[in-house]
Structure 1
Amino acid sequence: MPFRDIASHNTIMTAYAATIGTIHAARHLFDGMFLRNAVSWNIMINGYVKVKRPEQALEVVRWMAEIGVRGTAVTMVGAATACARLGRLGAGREVHCAFLRRFEEYNLLFWTSLVDMYGKCRDVDAARKVFDQLIFRNVVCWNAMIIGHCVYGEPGDGIQLFHEMVGQDHQHGLLPDEVTFIGVLCACTRLALLYDGKAYFEQMSTMYNIKPSFAHYWCMANLYASVGLLEEAEGLLRSMPEELKAHAFGGLLGLCRFRGEWELGERIVLRLIELEPRNSVHYALLCNVYACAGRWEDAHRVKAIIKERDKKLSPGHRLENLNGIINQFRERQPENLEIYAILDDLVSRLKVK
């Protein structure tokens, strides 16, 4: 094999560390390096963070510290983000202290990641202290604070932060983005503020020219469902752009499972089949709806239809919930990774009781 210098190794590792399917190749290359610089370590740390393996990211950080390699601000950002993903407040505080000991420069990216970490670890007071000390705040900083309160803290405070961000006169405040409104709609869901949620949803397009995505429609569907208006939730989802409907109806189907609304669930999955008649997953969903409702004759009828179409149910297939819907949608829309990272947290927090 021809000799590769550190820069060549780092370039190859960067490519490998970009996806979950090749991250192991990046690690294999990293482990085989005789010499590594800070960039090498940062590629592995932030690569693991990117592919949602925060535990491995922290392992690399600890290894780096044990052998005495001095990290950079980028290292600290990766470490703080990993702590946020894992909800490890103690480790996050250690990262905070380490940055204060080693670095004097002002780094907005790190302080923003710290706000995000404290928020996701449910220490919104600490997040606010860091936030208040920021010399400059962009929309990402504000989003970290708003999401921290709306999802993990007091949702009313999150809505108040939104109004502080945009400014009362809408001239001197920052413009919100898609992520901002996910937080605001989440807060409305937690507080069952249907009227306010509808108003914010309308403001997205009329006031800020933001086109609602699947995430926003799903939050609104949860808001309707949280106050018992499942029919209205279905009506809202019917008004969505056609390319988003199949995913959103699958999300509402999960709500029907929680509530035992099997007739509505049947109607939704039949709509899924209408939208994508060649998708065998939808027939499996219908079979599971009937099975969960105890309608065994109908379940066997659907199985017979599947066999006739030479389609087979996947072993262990279960009624699809929002996790599956979001994973499918994320694969098709990789440019919105920040939104889907937030949705990963919403999945376990916004189930209708």
Structure 2
Amino acid sequence: MIESMRLNFKDILARSIHNCKSIRVIKQIHSYIITSPNLSPNDHYFLISRLLFFLCTVDESPDGLKYAVKVFRRIAEPSLFAYNAMIRASSTKIKDPFSCESLILYKEMLCNNLSPDSITIPFVLKECAKRIDGLMGRSIHAHAVKFGYEADVYVQNALISLYSEGRFLDDARRVFDEMSNRDIVSWNSMIVGYLRGGELDVALDLFKEMKDRKDIITWNSMITGFVQGGRPKEALGFFQDMQIFSDDRDMDRPDKITVASVLSACASLGAGDHGRWLHSYLERSRMECDMVIGTALVDMYGKCGCVERAFEVFNGMPKKDVLAWTAMISAFALHGHGEEAFKLFANMEAVGVRPNSVTFVGLLSACAHAGLVEKGRWCFDTMRRVYGIEPQVQHYACMVDILARAGQFVEAEDLIRGMPMEPDVFVWGALLGGCQLHGNVELGEKIAENLICLEPQNHAFYINLCDVYAKAGRFDDLKRIRALMKDKEIRKPVPGCSMIEVDGIVHEFSMKGSPEVPIMEAIKNVLMVLSLEMNRQDNMNIFIT
């Protein structure tokens, strides 16, 4: 009878732990376990382990892990199960990058003569990846080999993630190639590693090799990676392929991450038609337009020239953080609406949203585009005096641009000399731009030639100097610089290009033409017709005269 009561009481407590909803209730259950005379030592140990597992894996409250540590430290001889629970919780729940609690627990476990298993090692590797600690990670890799888990798929996936985070892509690929049983996590981790490392073409090769094994994480990784890698047109192509893929196979439809990344691609390309279609897709699919999506829409419409539409979206957002306000301010700034940008900034301050450094870049850009010199000075002073934001190089570049456009070259030079960091190409470029605008050849020549001496292979300085000479009509000097560039074999690393969207299709053009041969032929034909028509009109005018 007593044994039956003991088993029933143990089962009741175990079910109570399993069904627990709050830390307050778990503390009550814990007190029952400690004080109950109806539990054997084995029952007590079993229930404490279950309670620890709940605190480490189920409970999401900030106090859960703290209470788990207290429970764990009262266990006389923690088992491997208890250590695994604590290591897992420490590696996933502690966000402090300087914390090494899971590594301390792992070392303590080894000192207590407990060998890790295939659950321990992946979470210790996760901690190393979070800390980007390649040296410690390699040590754990050695332990995985020592204890016979180097072929475990979870361990291998954790190793790929570790080496990818630390940009040790050759090591990550070596682990990947040695895997006999890759799962979707293996492929995604390796692709993400290449994308983060800037090796987009290698990532694309792996992506193609996956064929039908892709999931939504794979597609989102490729779209986001190519947008961030400066290839937004290809990112749009991935999105179109993703829709076909998800229709043909049992895969989730595009989610918020997809939409935010594709909107960013549209913004980069100025692909307003694509952006508008995506906005309507959001409304049709009844996907929640949260702050991230709303901000992406504002940014997209702003960069595509639809400022009024951007403002409509902005006003329709129920909640706005500093990123949303900054996106709208930047949209006004981009199109020369300086007064509107500052009105919006005043509203932002009135509702208690604190601006960040990017907000002031937008405001200073608005001043530059609208010629608001005094506003620019006020803005540059306010960010430091009122908000304690120290100007960075991009703020100095904007301020120099404002002054140079207004012909205030003495003040601009004084500002550059007083910079706490070395002025970069954008700062000098802003000053050179002002020299070109106002025909200040002497200063422009001095700045450009000094920069050429410092960085003789930087093509930007030569081109800026050529622009100054061209503006001043000094074509002999322009030819001299062009010849110097030719002698030194200095060329633009990537030719400048323009993009235009026609009927939902983005076309790209550069000095070398366009990869779309039929389009180029059609454009040449139109230009020829226009040229003939202009010549005909000129001849008629001469005849009439």
* 2:435 equivalent in structure 1: 256
Q: Quote how far apart the aligned CAs of 1:23 are.
A: 0.7
Could you tell me how far apart the structure 1 residues matched to 2:399 and 2:275 are?
33
Aligned to 2:265: 82
Letter in 1 for 2:399: M
The CA distance in 1 between the partners of 2:297 and 2:458, in whole Å, is 42
Q: Does the 8 Å CA contact 1:18/1:50 hold for their aligned counterparts?
A: no
Q: Does 1:160 align with 2:314?
A: no
Q: What are the residue-to-residue correspondences of 1:220-235 with 2, within 5 Å?
A: 220-235=399-414
Rate the CA distance shift 1:166–1:283 in 2: closer, same or farther, 3 A.
closer
- 1:118 Cα offset (Å): 1.2
Matched residue, 2:240: 62
Greater relative contact order structure (CA < 8 Å, 6+ sep)? 1
Distance between the aligned counterparts of 2:362 and 2:487, measured in 1? 37
1:173 aligns with 2:352: yes
- Could you tell me which residue of structure 2 aligns to residue 216 of structure 1? 395
Q: List structure 1 segments (4+ residues) > 6 angstroms apart after TM superposition.
A: none
The aligned counterpart of 1:145 is: 328
Q: Secondary structure at the match of 2:323?
A: helix
Quote the residue 2:183 is aligned against.
5
What letter is aligned with 2:267? A
Q: Once the 2 structures are TM-superposed, how far is the Cα of residue 220 of structure 1 from its aligned partner?
A: 1.2
What's the counterpart of residue 132 of structure 1? 315
Identity of aligned residues (%): 34
Q: 1 CA distance for matches of 2:435 and 2:262? A: 39
> What letter corresponds to residue 236 of structure 2 in structure 1?
L
TM-score, reference length from structure 2: 0.51
Aligned match of 2:209: 32
Moved more, 194-203 or 127-136: 127-136
Separation in 1, partners of 2:445, 2:336: 36
Q: 2:303 aligns with which of 115, 120, 136?
A: 120
Q: Which amino acid aligns with 1:38?
A: I
SS of 1:280's partner is coil
Cα offset, 1:262, TM superposition: 2.0
User: Quick one: structure 1 residues 73 and 156, their matched pair in 2 at CA, closer, same or farther if it must change by over 3 Å?
Assistant: same
CA–CA distance in structure 2, aligned partners of residues 153 and 51 of structure 1: 28
Change (3 A) 1:128 1:3: same
Could you report, residue by residue, the CA deviation over 1:103-140 in whole angstroms, capped at 9, with x for unpaired residues?
A: 44353211111111111112122212221222211100
Gaps of 5+ in 1: 304-311, 324-353
- Report the residue type matching 1:122 in the other structure: G
Tell me what 2:200 maps to. 23
For residue 244 of structure 1, give the secondary structure of its aligned residue in structure 2.
coil
Pair 281,230 (structure 1): closer, same or farther in 2 beyond 3 Å: farther
After superposing the two structures, state which structure 1 stretch, 199-208 or 125-134, moved more. Answer: 125-134
Q: Deviations over 1:10-52 (max 9, x none)?
A: 01111111244x0111111111113111000000000111112
Question: Residues of 1 paired with 2:309 and 2:260: CA distance?
Answer: 17
Q: CA RMSD in A?
A: 3.2
Q: 245-254 vs 29-38, which deviates more?
A: 245-254
Whichever residue aligns with residue 189 of structure 1, its letter is: A
- Indicate the residue corresponding to 1:42 in structure 2: 220
Alignment partner for residue 184 of structure 1, among 348, 351, 363? 363
Which letter maps to 2:184?
I
- Report the alpha carbon displacement of residue 244 of structure 1 after superposing the two structures with TM: 2.5
> Deviation digits for residues 127-159 of structure 1, max 9, x if unmatched?
122212222111001011111111136222111
The one-letter amino acid paired with 1:114 is L
Q: What's the offset of the Cα at 1:271?
A: 4.9
Q: Distance in 1 between matches of 2:363 and 2:243?
A: 39
Counterpart among 315, 335, 338 of residue 489 in structure 2: 315
Q: Distance in 1 between matches of 2:311 and 2:376?
A: 25
Aligned residue identity for 1:83:
C
* Cα distance, 1:74–1:234 mapped onto 2, change above 3 Å: same
TM-score (norm 1): 0.76
* 2:423 partner SS: helix
Counterpart of 2:10 in structure 1 is none
Quick check: 1:197–1:223 contact (8 Å CA) kept in 2? yes
Q: Deviations over 1:43-97 (max 9, x none)?
A: 0000111112110010000111123251111111111111111111111111111
Are the counterparts in 2 of residues 76 and 95 from structure 1 also a CA contact under 8 Å?
yes
Q: Check the 8 A contact 1:238/1:245 in 2, yes or no.
A: no
Amino acid at match of 1:73: K
Task: Name the counterpart of 1:200.
Answer: 379
| 31 and 223 in structure 1: CA distance in 2 versus 1, 3 angstrom threshold | same
Report the 3-state secondary structure (helix = DSSP H, G, I; strand = E; otherwise coil) of the residue aligned with 1:243. Answer: coil
Aligned pair in 2 of structure 1 residues 150, 278: CA closer, same or farther (>3 Å)? Answer: closer
CA–CA distance in 2 between the matches of 1:76 and 1:16?
22
Residue 275 (structure 2) aligns with? 92
Whole-Å Cα distance in 1 between the matches of residues 255 and 407 of structure 2? 50
Change (3 A) 1:13 1:266: same
Match of 2:58 in 1: none
The alpha-carbon distance between structure 1 residues 260 and 3, as it changes in their structure 2 partners (threshold 3 A), is farther
* Structure possessing the higher radius of gyration over alpha carbons: 2
Q: What is the alpha-carbon distance in structure 1 between the residues aligned to residue 490 and residue 310 of structure 2?
A: 42
Looking at structure 1, the residues matched to 255 and 230 of structure 2 have their Cα atoms a distance apart, in angstroms, of: 21
Structure 2: state its 5+ residue gaps. Answer: 1-176, 497-545
Verify the 8 A CA contact 1:55 1:82 in the aligned structure 2. yes
Partner deviation per Cα, 1:163-185 (whole Å, 9 max, x = no partner):
11112xxxx51111111111111
Which amino acid is 1:280 matched to?
A: P
| Residue 347 of structure 1: aligned partner | none
